[in-house]
Structure 1
Amino acid sequence: MSDAFTTRMIDVATGSSETVHDLTPACESFLREAARDRDGLLHVFVPHATAGVALIETGAGSDDDLLAALHALLPADDRWQHRHGSPGHGRDHVLPAIVPPYATVPVIGGRMQLGTWQSVCLVDTNRDNPDRQVRLSFLG
């Protein structure tokens, strides 16, 4: 693999409750090694059918607001055709259509060019899968 493209899979323990997990520190750590002060793109991908990646403010209630909005849009009840797992689990399979399983962030001088309050977050409403993987890729 050339220096122009570097990729790594990281493990994220999300536990047994719905969560918005901040991936920003892991992305920054990856870029220190992979980008080495170069310009390019960071691509964050979740290879799961029931999780997504969002750029959102964390720690000020926005993460809880996102989960509340997802509850309103995708209630955990028996309306879903996909019925294995916890009650309402079918909604978890619809989540990636609303919160996509990827995000791409510009990198300048080895640093993500996020807005002041933006963080890269894993959004996981699936209480049945407490362990996730996230692929971080740098192209530069």
Structure 2
Amino acid sequence: MRQTTTMLTIATPGAGLHEITDRIVRWIGETGIDEGLLTVFCRHTSASLLIQENAAPAARRDLERYFARIAPESDRYEHDDEGPDDMPAHLRSALTTVQLSIPVIRGEMALGTWQGIYLFEHRRAPHRRTLALHLIGE
């Protein structure tokens, strides 16, 4: 049994779903591990991770609009240290997840045909987000 880790930095242009599947695929290929379990962990409280539809851009736009509706910017929040999008970003992150576990089979993630991995940036401004990747297997 082997394991390997890396830190992946993602520069986001602002709010939205940003696909990161290809960067993770490249890293898995470099590890030489063919069978195992991948953990992807987002080290932030105002961004999150999703496995989601990667073929139809409309699906991503609908998701972004949905989260904007259920956690809107508002002056009603007490926590606004970094601006009006601060607390809504934390709420959106709490409603999704910051950690994914994905089986790796024959050197590839066992994602479905239309699935991709997304960093969901919940802040309007560009950010540099750090993801911790851990792969254990053989």
Q: TM-score, normalised by structure 1?
A: 0.90
Q: Give, in whole Å, the separation in 1 of the partners of 2:91 and 2:51.
A: 19
Q: Does 1:118 align with 2:115?
A: yes
SS in 2 for 1:123: strand
Q: Deviation of residue 83 (structure 1)?
A: 1.0
Query: Contact 1:30–1:136 at 8 Å: present in 2 too?
Result: no
Query: Contact 1:80–1:88 at 8 Å: present in 2 too?
Result: no
Q: Give, in whole Å, the separation in 2 of the partners of 1:120 and 1:113.
A: 12
Per-residue displacement from partner, 1:75-127 (whole Å, max 9, x unpaired)? Answer: 01112221112213211112222111111111101100101100011001112
Q: What amino acid does structure 2 have at the position aligned with 1:81?
A: E
**Structure 2 counterpart of 1:7:** 5
**Structure 2 counterpart of 1:103:** 100
Q: Give, in whole Å, the separation in 2 of the partners of 1:56 and 1:137.
A: 21
Q: Give, in whole Å, the separation in 2 of the partners of 1:116 and 1:124.
A: 24
Query: Contact 1:56–1:119 at 8 Å: present in 2 too?
Result: yes
Q: Give, in whole Å, the separation in 1 of the partners of 2:33 and 2:133.
A: 17
Per-residue displacement from partner, 1:21-54 (whole Å, max 9, x unpaired)? Answer: 11100110011012x2521111111100111100
Q: What amino acid does structure 2 have at the position aligned with 1:125?
A: H
**Structure 1 counterpart of 2:53:** 57
Query: Contact 2:15–2:125 at 8 Å: present in 1 too?
Result: no
SS in 2 for 1:114: coil
- Structure 2 unaligned segments of length 5 or more: list them: none
Query: Contact 1:79–1:88 at 8 Å: present in 2 too?
Result: no
Q: TM-score, normalised by structure 2?
A: 0.91
Q: Give, in whole Å, the separation in 2 of the partners of 1:37 and 1:8.
A: 14
Q: What amino acid does structure 1 have at the position aligned with 2:41?
A: F
Per-residue displacement from partner, 1:55-88 (whole Å, max 9, x unpaired)? Answer: 0013511111111110111001112221112213
**Structure 1 counterpart of 2:21:** 24
Identical amino acids, percent of aligned pairs:
30
Q: Give, in whole Å, the separation in 1 of the partners of 2:99 and 2:111.
A: 15
Q: 1:45 aligns with which of 41, 44, 47?
A: 41
